[in-house]
Amino acid sequence: MDAPVGYRVRVAVEAGTLPVRYQDVARIAYGGMGDVYRATDTLLGRLVAVKLLSLRYATDGEIRKRFTREALAAARLSAHPSIVTIYDIGETGDRPFIVMEYIAEGSLADALRLGAQSPHRALAWLESVADALDFAHAHGVVHRDVKPANILLDEHDSVHVADFGVASAAGLDSFTQTGTILGTAGYLAPEQAQGRKAGPEADRYALGVVAFELLTGARPFESDSPTAEAAAHVSSPVPSISSHGLGIPREADDVFRHALAKDPSKRFRSCAEFIAALRDVYANSEEQTRILPLAPAGVAPARRLPLVLGLIALLLAAGAVAAVALTGGHSKDSSTPPVTVRERGTTVTTPGTTVRETVTAQPPPSTTQPAASSLTSGVSLANEGYAKLQAGDAAGALPLLQQAAQKLQGTGSLSEAYNDYNLAVALIRTQGCSTEVLQLLDASQAIQGHRKEIDDLRKSCTPGNHGKKAGAHSDHGGD
């Protein structure tokens, strides 16, 4: 369900909502499909997330059976490290529930509130989700509601797919009633929007939409009207992803035309095949491998350090903010849980479910960035510093870049990464190599990933070169 920011809302609930085994119960998410509660499983001594089917569906005996059947099918997938573990299934007061691991670090929907993600981070997430979906398809399970809110993040920045089959269990995996549409119309495959049966191809299509959104900060057919957006999936041509800028290679347009083909038979044969094609585009693109020694601090391709700074001011004005770039891995310990495959030590986030809306539904509330003002001022200073650096005025650039570093510190954005690099250049040119320079390069690489430009600058600051200042050969601008 489309829940508030990743299980972070806690609402006290009356005693007896769940079986007595579950104590300290608090509602943490809600939606059209039902509510999600955080609770302590007193029998096994762990925090869990419990999804309780809404009364509006629980009164239908057939839906209750489907809900349980789908939950049992999804439980078979719990062995996969990128799929949320299901611990138990039961009923309370004639309402079926599913007990899952609890992950409290948010979802990709939360991450997208910061705008487009770096290709490095997005592709790592997409690769894990693709593997999870392909695993599910190999076991005969189709998700039918793949969307950022159902892809959860743990404390290691690893993803976990939640809510397999829940939409299908309630009969909500397509337009099933005249005048109503799914709240997740933005991710519906054309066949779902037309009320046809959704198979693995629908999940692959939805993954393509999620990938488009992670790389651009917007869905391909985004609209204030869910009905219009769903209709666009059926009839509108796939928009060019490279036209969004952000250093997305032109070759990616063909990849997304394939991934978002109207005809299911023309899409990639697996999720893994789609992500491999996307990775190849970034790996082989001349645009991504071109080396330029200096970079403005704006939003640019995440694998390309030097580029145009002024873009970020425009993007920020439109509400797009540079994304946090973190990496990490997470492996799950295993034991034997009640109804399923195994218990994992680290626990989950916000399983969302599908929310139904009428065609007269109002557009969702806008998500403004609380940090946008600080980030914008930091980028503005970084812009000025970069301009002076390009003009050969390293001494004039230095204080501006230092002020920008203070503003951008801790944002984890590409702007911070680029500014750290440019500040290192300014320091070398004015004061020579130092420990501070090396620390700045390390900080830039921690966000941006491995870059030849960073390596080259770091090599120029080897012990034998300490105290030397960078020469004019380093002074080249972006394109």
Q: Contact 293/474 with Cβ under 8 angstroms?
A: yes
Query: How far is the C-alpha of 246 from the C-alpha of 253, rounded, in Å?
Result: 14
**What pLDDT was estimated at residue 444?**
87
Q: Which strand (E) or helix (H) includes residue 92?
A: strand 86-92
Gap between the terminal Cα atoms of the chain: 44
Burial of 116 per CB tally in 10 Å (0-12, 13-18, 19+): buried
Task: For residue 147, give the nearest of 76, 91, 229 by alpha carbon.
Answer: 229
**What pLDDT was estimated at residue 450?**
72
Q: Are strands 86-92 and 95-101 parallel, antiparallel or unpaired?
A: antiparallel
Q: Which long-range contacts (CB under 8 A, 24 or more apart) does 11-14 make?
A: 13/37
DSSP state of 27: E
Query: How far is the C-alpha of 241 from the C-alpha of 159, rounded, in Å?
Result: 24
Query: How far is the C-alpha of 208 from the C-alpha of 188, rounded, in Å?
Result: 11
Question: Residues 88, 110, 145, 157: which is the catalytic one?
Answer: 145
Q: For residue 136, what are the contacts with CB-CB under 8 A and spacing of at least 6? A: 77, 80, 83, 142, 143, 161, 164, 203
Say which residue the tokens 């929007």 belong to: 193
At position 352, the amino acid (one-letter code) is G
DSSP string, 42-62: TTTTEEEEEEEE-HHHHT-HH
Query: How far is the C-alpha of 130 from the C-alpha of 168, rounded, in Å?
Result: 20
**What pLDDT was estimated at residue 335?**
38
Sign of the C-alpha dihedral computed for residues 353, 49, 84 and 7 taken in this order: positive
Query: How far is the C-alpha of 298 from the C-alpha of 451, rounded, in Å?
Result: 17
Sign of the C-alpha dihedral computed for residues 77, 83, 88 and 92 taken in this order: negative
**What pLDDT was estimated at residue 5?**
36
**What pLDDT was estimated at residue 32?**
62
Q: Which strand (E) or helix (H) includes residue 35?
A: strand 34-41
Instruction: Tell me the pLDDT of the chain (479 aa) as tens digits.
Output: 444 333 433 444 444 578 899 999 998 877 667 788 999 999 989 999 998 888 888 888 777 887 887 788 788 898 899 999 999 888 888 888 999 999 988 899 999 998 999 999 999 999 999 999 999 999 888 988 899 999 999 988 999 998 886 555 444 444 443 333 344 789 999 998 888 888 999 999 999 999 999 999 999 999 988 889 999 999 999 999 999 988 899 999 999 999 999 999 999 999 999 999 999 999 887 444 333 344 554 444 333 343 333 443 333 333 333 333 333 334 444 333 333 333 333 333 333 333 333 333 333 443 344 345 566 778 888 888 888 887 788 899 999 999 999 988 887 777 888 889 999 999 998 888 888 999 899 888 888 777 778 888 888 886 554 444 443 333 333 33
Query: How far is the C-alpha of 453 from the C-alpha of 271, rounded, in Å?
Result: 33
Q: Contact 89/138 with Cβ under 8 angstroms?
A: no
Give catalytic status of residue 263 as yes or no: no
Q: From start to end of 137-288, where are the E strands?
A: 151-153, 159-161, 180-182
| Domains in the chain: ranges and CATH | 108-149+180-323 (1.10.510.10), 372-458 (1.25.40.10)
Task: For residue 184, give the nearest of 202, 200, 158, 196 by alpha carbon.
Answer: 202
